[in-house]
Amino acid sequence: MFKFLFIIFMCFNCYFSQVLFSKFINQNQIFLDNPIKSIQFDYTTQNIDGLSEQGSGRILIGQNKYKLNLQNYIFLFTGSALKRYNKITNQIFIENNNPQTDSLILNFFNIKNLDMIEVDSNGMVTIPPPNFQINDLIIELDFLSDSSAIKKINIQSNQYLISLFNLNFSNQELGLNNSFSFNFPNAFIFDLRD
């Protein structure tokens, strides 16, 4: 009996996640096909030092690089280093990247990966694709009732929590040249890499 219920649950889970992402893919095809994906959002955080507990931001995702603009910070990942600019102190910090976070950001909105993600009926990502390299990370997605859009994304890693909401997946095509600029000529630079 337990095996039978488990099989039914697994079939429902696979079907449910396929339906969720197929509707999302259909409604957001232009966004997903753009070489640079742009998402604007509002956020709330818990336990993330230096980051205000609420605000708004924008992320640009290109091939092998991304740029995250938050109220007082700009993050740029290009390859193996993460640059963080603090607008208040006019400082740039160059740090080792976090492969888990970078993999999640770079790969999540790839159509091939969306087809492989399994989500349970509560919106929890249960089986992420292998190239996400996720270990101690919990991702919860809240879809619109028709599954055409994601209303909210909760990401928890250890004691850190960030919630993204009021998500706007832009269909505007952006230029490759200026989108990932990171030029602050008078900033003081700290290289914190090992």
For residue 120, the domain's CATH number is: 2.50.20.10
In total, how many domains does the chain have? 1
% of the chain at pLDDT higher than 70? 80
Q: Which residues pair with 78 in a beta bridge?
A: 65
| Strands of the 37-46 sheet, one edge to the other | 137-143, 150-157, 160-169, 37-46, 54-62, 65-69, 73-78, 81-86, 91-96, 188-191
What is the pLDDT, as a whole number, of residue 59?
A: 93
Band of the pLDDT at 39, cuts 50, 70, 90?
very high
Average pLDDT of the residues of the chain: 80
Distance, in Å, from the CA atom of 187 to the CA atom of 194, rounded to the nearest integer, reads 21
For the entire predicted model, the pTM comes to: 0.82
Residue with tokens 């492969």: 99
Token pair, residue 124, equals: 């929890």
Regarding predicted confidence, which is higher, 152 or 122? 152
Give the pLDDT confidence score for residue 164 in this predicted structure: 93
Count Cβ atoms within 10 A of the Cβ of residue 107 and give its class: 0-12 exposed, 13-18 middle, 19 or more buried: middle
Total Cβ atoms within 10 A of residue 102: 18
| Most trustworthy range by pLDDT among 15-29, 79-93, 173-187 | 79-93
The DSSP output letter for 143 is: E
Burial (CB < 10 A; 0-12, 13-18, 19+), residue 24, is buried
Given a cut of 70, whether residue 186 has pLDDT beyond it is: yes
| DSSP output for 59-89 | EEEETTEEEEE-SSEEEEEESSEEEEEETTT
Structure tokens at 118: 């399994």
- The first and second tokens of residue 5, run together, are 């219920």
The type of residue at 43 is Y
> Is residue 21 scored above 60 in pLDDT?
yes
Instruction: Look up the domain containing 111 and give its range.
Output: 2-191
